[in-house]
């Protein structure tokens, strides 16, 4: 691919040029850039220049090749030389076709398996140093999405996610209870130290197992879903992806066997560990349910188009592929849907109470999805055109509620979900539905209608300028209000 003068090209050793191109691909900080014409736009050109600068500084032996890459990628197209310009663009586009796979295999499929600080962040497109957005950052992202990508997909699970959406929702609860979680894990480490074989698993992989059990073990009273076999298959893949104690080309079957055996022993319901695990798992599962439902609610009400991956109409505790591609039990889903249709005539309060009481069956998630889909169908024009409005929350637990409005013409929706609910319950020593929200309230814009109807509970209310959180979180700590 002759992109520069042959004389200049010959001044650089071919191997150095190859290494420099490789370093360009490796140091790309995102999956890829998408420039489809030269010159690149100012932002993209600046990003590429930053990469080339880093190469010169971190790999001085490759510096002679950097001017060639600058010429090939960053110079203005040659006037009247269409063939050259096409080759230059083709070279850049080909580079971008390789940066994505390198990122995936280097980060998601290696790095994120090597240090299990918090496995909820071992995910496609995630970043180990990211630990969530503040409400203000979330609102800004939604405003940007509304302006720039209003019909983008709101997805929470795909064929390629490392863990099902409800696994991640559960794992996020651990970040609300860091002290209790740390103490519990330390107790488990002591309790299970004699279960190891030849030192395996090491502390890092042992911690992976504990997080995996908490996040992916099925709901209480709902059976084990062949978890013993599934977790062994998962651990084999995780160990080989990490490439620390094993790998795909030369697997360390002895270490893999020790790690799998350790996990299997933990699942012995007659062993001392199980009593401690079962109690903690149930606690985390309940808070995980609220996180999961809040996730569904946001997916359906924020700017974008909600996507439901196959099977996630119910609780999805799948692990990495191929586990997340198992056959879906559609007969069960149809059965639960039929039951919901029969129960639809019950009073809202009674229905909500029944759904929460039987929350482990996942009918509550199916009901929420059905309710939101039905509402979007009936109000298609609204969700296609509604503005996104950040709402202010005030009061004692203001930092524990996320609220926003969607508005189109004279129609308004207000959406509210709890944040860090486990921390509040721990502080108050209360169950989820008994939290005292005190004076926490959502402040409405001055032009918003004063009356509201709760989509879930059927409650009607009148608040001239504020909505009391304790009123709308009575039967379930989630709310969609239609203002009128």
Tell the residue number behind the tokens 């983008």, with chain if given: 152
Instruction: Classify residue 269: in a domain, yes or no.
Output: yes
* pLDDT attached to residue 269: 96
* pLDDT attached to residue 349: 66
Instruction: Classify residue 118: in a domain, yes or no.
Output: no
- The percent helix, strand, coil of the chain (3-state, each to 5) is 55, 10, 35
Same-domain status, 291 and 402: no
Same-domain status, 103 and 212: no
Tell me the pLDDT of the chain (484 aa) as tens digits. 445 555 555 678 999 999 999 999 999 999 999 999 999 999 999 999 999 999 999 999 999 999 999 999 998 898 889 999 999 999 999 999 999 999 889 988 999 999 999 999 998 878 777 888 999 999 999 999 999 999 999 999 999 999 999 999 999 999 999 999 999 999 999 999 999 999 999 999 999 999 999 999 999 999 999 999 999 999 999 999 999 999 999 999 999 999 999 999 999 999 999 999 999 999 999 999 999 999 999 999 999 999 999 999 999 999 999 999 999 999 999 999 999 988 877 666 688 889 999 999 999 999 999 999 999 999 999 999 999 999 999 999 999 999 999 999 999 999 999 999 999 999 999 999 999 999 999 999 999 998 889 988 777 777 678 999 999 999 999 999 999 8
Same-domain status, 444 and 339: no
Same-domain status, 329 and 383: no
Same-domain status, 194 and 305: yes
* pLDDT attached to residue 347: 65
Same-domain status, 362 and 392: no
CATH number at residue 454: 2.60.40
Beta bridge partners of 466: 443
Same-domain status, 359 and 404: no
* pLDDT attached to residue 359: 97
Instruction: Judge if the upstream peptide bond of residue 178 is cis by omega within 30 degrees of 0.
Output: no
* pLDDT attached to residue 348: 66
Under 8 Å between Cβ of 52 and 66: yes
What is the number of domains present in the chain?
A: 3
Neighbours of 164 (CB within 10 A): 25
Instruction: Classify residue 41: in a domain, yes or no.
Output: yes
* pLDDT attached to residue 1: 44
* pLDDT attached to residue 11: 79
Kind and range of the H or E run holding 421: helix 421-428
Full-model pTM? 0.90
Same-domain status, 268 and 326: yes
Same-domain status, 275 and 196: yes
* pLDDT attached to residue 457: 78
* pLDDT attached to residue 130: 81
The DSSP output letter for 163 is S
Instruction: Classify residue 142: in a domain, yes or no.
Output: no
Instruction: Classify residue 454: in a domain, yes or no.
Output: yes
Structure-token pair, residue 372: 């939101």
Domain range holding 202? 153-369
* pLDDT attached to residue 2: 47
The DSSP output letter for 484 is -
């Amino acid at each position: 691919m002759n992109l520069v003068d042959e004389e200049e090209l010959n001044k650089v050793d071919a191997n150095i040029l190859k290494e420099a191109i490789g370093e360009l691909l490796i140091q790309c900080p995102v999956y890829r850039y998408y420039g489809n014409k030269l010159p690149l736009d100012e932002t993209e050109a600046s990003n590429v220049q930053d990469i080339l600068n880093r190469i010169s500084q971190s790999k001085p032996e490759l510096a002679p090749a950097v001017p060639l890459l600058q010429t090939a990628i960053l110079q203005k197209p040659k006037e009247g030389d269409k063939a050259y310009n096409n080759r230059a663009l083709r070279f850049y586009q080909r580079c971008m076709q390789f940066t994505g796979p390198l990122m995936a295999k280097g980060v998601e499929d290696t790095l994120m398996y090597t240090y299990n600080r918090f496995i909820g962040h071992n995910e496609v497109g995630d970043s180990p140093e990211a630990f969530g957005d503040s409400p203000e950052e979330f609102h800004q992202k939604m405003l940007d999405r509304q302006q720039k990508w209003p019909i983008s997909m709101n997805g929470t699970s795909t064929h390629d996610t490392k863990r099902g959406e409800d696994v991640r929702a559960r794992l996020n609860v651990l970040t609300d209870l860091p002290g209790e979680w740390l103490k519990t894990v330390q107790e488990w480490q002591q309790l299970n130290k004699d279960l190891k074989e030849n030192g395996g698993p090491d502390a890092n992989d042992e911690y992976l197992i504990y997080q995996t059990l908490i996040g992916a073990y099925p709901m209480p009273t709902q059976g084990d879903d062949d978890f013993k076999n599934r977790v062994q298959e998962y651990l084999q893949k995780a160990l080989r992806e990490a490439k620390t104690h094993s790998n795909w080309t030369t697997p360390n079957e002895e270490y893999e066997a020790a790690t799998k055996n350790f996990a299997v022993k933990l699942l012995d319901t007659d062993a001392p560990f199980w009593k401690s695990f079962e109690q903690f798992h149930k606690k985390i599962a309940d808070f995980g349910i609220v996180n999961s439902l809040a996730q569904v609610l946001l997916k359906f009400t924020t700017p974008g188009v909600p996507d439901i991956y196959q099977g996630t109409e119910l609780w999805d505790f799948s692990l990495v592929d191929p586990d997340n591609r198992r056959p879906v039990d559609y007969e069960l889903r149809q059965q639960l849907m039929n039951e919901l249709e029969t129960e639809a005539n019950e009073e809202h309060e009674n229905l909500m109470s029944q759904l929460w009481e039987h929350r482990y069956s996942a009918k509550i998630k199916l009901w929420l999805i059905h309710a939101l889909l039905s509402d979007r169908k009936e109000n298609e024009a609204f969700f296609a055109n509604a503005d996104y409005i950040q709402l202010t929350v005030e009061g004692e637990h203001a930092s524990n509620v996320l609220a926003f409005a969607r508005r189109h013409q004279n129609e308004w929706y207000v959406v509210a979900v709890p944040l860090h609910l486990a921390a509040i319950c721990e502080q108050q020593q209360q169950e989820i539905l008994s939290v005292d929200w005190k004076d926490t309230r959502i402040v409405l814009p001055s032009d918003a209608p004063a009356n509201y109807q709760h989509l879930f509970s059927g409650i009607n209310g009148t608040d001239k300028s504020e909505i009391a959180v304790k009123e709308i979180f009575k039967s379930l700590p989630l709310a969609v209000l239609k203002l009128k």
